[in-house]
Amino acid sequence: MIAASDEIGRRFAEIHPAFDPQAALVEANRCLYCFDAPCTAACPTHIDVPRFIKKIATANLRGSAVTILESNILGSSCSRVCPVDVLCEGACVLHRYNKQPIEIGRLQRHAMDYFYRSGRRLPFTPAPDRAAKVACIGAGPASLACAVELRKRGYGVTIFESRPLAGGLNTYGVAEYKLRPADSLREVELVKSLGVEFRFGVNVGGDVSLDDLERDYAAIFIAIGLGPPTPMKLPGEELEGVVDALRFIADYKTAQTIPVGRKVAVIGGGNTAIDAANAARRLGAGEVYMIYRRSEREMPAFLFEYEHSKLEGVQFRLQTQPVAIRSAASDARRVGALECVRMELGEPDRSGRRKPEPAPGSNFTIECDMVIPATGQSRFLDFLSKCRGVEVKDGCVVTDPATGRTANSRYYAAGDCVNGGREVVDAVAEGKRAGLGIVSWLCGAGW
């Protein structure tokens, strides 16, 4: 167990440190300011990339930040957590000339850091207050983006959040070396400064009913994200030392102390599994194994995350499936080992990935004192079933992609509960569209 605060800061030095002013200028001047800007097209929020970079090149950092904020109110966190290699930087034309793409993410961060350092003056003022109010359920990126669109046009917004802090995964679930809670919370403060009301520690459906919201608000926006972790249904899952990946990440980011094992087994092959494995290494685990049942070709994590994790010292056990968590010889209540079986890959299944099959008689154990499952999250189906007229398919809320509107005209939705779990920038883009969809509906209804 280590103390948090300063120690966490020391252990989680950023992987993409800020540019110094001279380096930012040099990088901005490498941009070709493309007329058709494929980088802008590749950004889900369509930030005008050449425009904000040009403003950096002309030493207009506030103007650059305003350009970013006009499209993406979470431009600061997105500059740190976006998978830029597969979005804007992946689309940069300089690839065609065999040159390094422009470091768009770091330039965006350069402008946004200046914005927050220099007093966080809002680039827009809300229109005069209107009578209608909107309730947003969940205080993650989708709700923050939706709330801004509504407040800009004078509509009242109350965000209901069951946890004590806003920001969703930006605050609780992103690896510390990418985004710190304080950086997420300063964006929340920016949204708050527009007059958005936050009600923390409130469970909609429990503390406040949907009937109450339908009575008091003209529209309801659902951005509840994904549900609790899916149980692995492994023998021994209840042992001490088994900690779900999202809880593990949230605890080390926000708790005062955090226990970490000496030998840690992380189960899963996605980006959350990688974040948890890297965190375990940085928190002091001597050996960290990532257990994934298919090969690296099928791994859902981004390639750059996988490569980074290897540099952090994480050891990959591929084509390996856990079958049981075994208790320690010294303490039957605690984790002592993970029993696994080797997997062979057969024909592609419905997902197009080769189907793993256990190799008979290949069982073996990995000694460990901590197991971190990162094998997916369930959905809030109970809650969604109470949202009258809202259609749910395969665990996801069905919406009109252009407006975020559900089958019930007063209910809108966006973010992970709609898309099944994508990037922060996708949640922002969908939240924005839903905010504009609600505005359009409210105007049509005479509000």
Distances in Å between the Cα of 349 and the Cα atoms of 161, 317, 352, 374, 403 are 39, 22, 5, 22, 34
Q: Which is nearer to ligand SF4, 68 or 147 (CB)?
A: 68
Shortest approach of ligand SF4 to residue 40 CB, angstroms?
Answer: 7
| Contact pick of 49, 188, 223, 242 for ligand SF4 (by CB under 6 A) | 49
Closer residue to ligand SF4 (CB): 104 or 139: 104
Least distance (Å) between residue 107 CB and ligand SF4: 9
For residues 61-100, which are near ligand SF4 according to CB under 6 A?
Answer: 92-94
Give me the least distance between CB of 41 and ligand SF4, in Å please.
Answer: 9
Provide the minimum distance between the beta carbon of 30 and ligand SF4 in the complex, in angstroms, as a whole number.
7
Stretch that binds ligand SF4, among 35-43, 214-222, 350-358, 433-441 (CB under 6 A): 35-43
- Nearest distance in Å: CB 430, ligand SF4: 23
Residue in the block written with tokens 């000339």:
97
Site size with ligand SF4, rule: CB under 6 A: 14
Using the rule CB under 6 A, which residue among 8, 27, 50, 132 binds ligand SF4? 50
Residue 104 touching ligand SF4 (CB under 6 A): yes
Nearest approach, Cβ of 89 to ligand SF4 (angstroms)? 8
Distance CA 1, CA 11 (A): 14
Q: Find the radius of gyration of the CA atoms of the chain.
A: 23
Nearer to ligand SF4, 29 or 193 (CB): 29
Count Cα neighbours of 430 within 13 Å in the Cβ-side half-sphere.
31
Query: Using the rule CB under 6 A, is 37 a contact of ligand SF4?
Result: yes
Residues 208-247: b if buried by 16+ CB within 10 A, e if exposed:
bebeebbeebbbbbbbbbbbebeebebebeebebbbbbbe
Nearest alpha-carbon partner for 198 in 256, 118, 137? 137
Q: What is the DSSP letter of 229?
A: B
Q: In Å, what is the CA distance from 330 to each residue of 10, 224, 334, 396?
A: 33, 42, 8, 44
Q: Is 38 in the site for ligand SF4 (CB under 6 A)?
A: yes
Contacting ligand SF4 (CB under 6 A), which of 32, 59, 359, 443?
32
Q: Which residue has the tokens 């040009």?
A: 54
Among 33, 124, 200, 304, binds ligand SF4 (CB under 6 A): 33
Q: Smallest Cα–Cα separation from 168: which of 188, 149, 154, 148? A: 188
Q: Which is nearer to ligand SF4, 94 or 407 (CB)?
A: 94
**Dmax of the chain from CA atoms?**
71
Contact with ligand SF4 (CB under 6 A): which of 28, 31, 213, 428?
Answer: 31
304 binds ligand SF4 (CB under 6 A): no
* Contact partners, residue 361, CB within 8 Å, separation at least 6: none
Nearer to ligand SF4, 34 or 202 (CB): 34
Q: Which is nearer to ligand SF4, 39 or 436 (CB)?
A: 39
By CB under 6 A, tell whether 25 contacts ligand SF4: no
Nearest-approach distance from CB 199 to ligand SF4, in angstroms: 41
339 φ, ψ to 5°? -90, 130
34 belongs to the binding site for ligand SF4 (CB under 6 A): yes
Question: Rounded to the nearest whole angstrom, what is the least distance from the CB of residue 141 to ligand SF4 in the complex?
Answer: 24
The DSSP secondary-structure symbol of 429 reads H
Which residue number, 31 or 283, has a Cβ lying nearer to ligand SF4? 31
CA dist., res. 388 & res. 263, Å (int): 48
- Which of 4, 81, 102, 260 binds ligand SF4 (CB under 6 A)? It is 102
Binding of ligand SF4 at residue 407 (CB under 6 A)? no
Record the tokens describing residue 34, joined without a space.
């493309």
d(Cα 277, Cα 438) in Å, to the nearest integer? 40
Q: Which is nearer to ligand SF4, 45 or 399 (CB)?
A: 45
Helix (H) or strand (E) holding 249: helix 245-254
Q: What are phi and psi of 177, to 5 degrees?
A: -75, -5
Residues that bind ligand SF4 (CB under 6 A): 31-34, 37-39, 49-50, 92-94, 102, 104
